[in-house]
């Protein structure tokens, strides 16, 4: 069965439960540590509420009302300067490999620029090779360590790009 009517739109309150399931499933599928990652973030079950300030946005991939992934932009926590973090970018296997991750990522980058950020930061896990490849093709450079204070001590990949 094919997926039709896919849109990338801003998150709504009713997306929370479906999005939480997509995010958590990725950790099990890719065998990413649950401690020190988005898996145990208190905002993961309430993503809509977590992206309501003027300088942040979260987008979801909606397929006929089913949320199949998402990604967002927020200021990098405990970091001086106009650096945002692209975060909580996870996708259901149903939409992977079809270009939607790239589309959503580009939408996040555009939003980051429009929100006035000068640099964009990403943390990832080495298991997420496809995601890291997308970041590299968009000009993100690898860093030797983390920036800010995300609390994600189990993420071993840190990248940054000037906007």
- Could you tell me the pTM of the whole model? 0.94
Q: What is the mean pLDDT of residues 47-58?
A: 97
Summarised one tens digit per residue, pLDDT across range 124-140 is: 999 999 899 999 999 99
Q: Which two tokens stand for residue 153?
A: 């001590």
CATH of 6-162, one of 3.40.630.30, 3.40.190.10, 3.40.50.300, 3.30.310.50: 3.40.630.30
In order of 53, 142, 156, the CA distances from 122 in angstroms are 20, 9, 11
Inter-axis angle of helices 100-114 and 129-137, to 10 degrees?
Answer: 50
Q: Which two tokens stand for residue 100?
A: 């939607």
CA dihedral angle for residue 117, residue 122, residue 123, residue 127, rounded to 10 degrees: 160
């Amino acid at each position: 069965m094919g997926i039709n009517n896919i849109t990338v739109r801003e998150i709504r309150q009713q997306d929370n439960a479906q999005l939480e399931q997509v995010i958590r499933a990725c950790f099990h599928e890719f065998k990413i540590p649950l401690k020190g990652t988005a898996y145990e973030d208190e905002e993961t079950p309430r993503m809509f509420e977590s992206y309501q300030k003027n300088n942040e946005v979260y987008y979801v991939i909606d397929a006929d009302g089913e949320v199949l992934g998402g990604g967002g932009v927020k200021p990098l926590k405990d970091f001086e300067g106009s650096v945002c973090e692209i975060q909580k970018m996870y996708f259901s296997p149903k939409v992977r490999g079809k270009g939607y991750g790239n589309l959503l990522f580009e939408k996040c980058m555009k939003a980051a620029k429009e929100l006035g950020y000068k640099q964009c930061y990403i943390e990832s896990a080495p298991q997420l090779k496809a995601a890291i490849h997308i970041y590299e093709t968009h000009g993100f450079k690898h860093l030797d360590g983390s920036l800010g204070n995300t609390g994600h001590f189990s993420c071993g990949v840190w990248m940054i790009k000037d906007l």
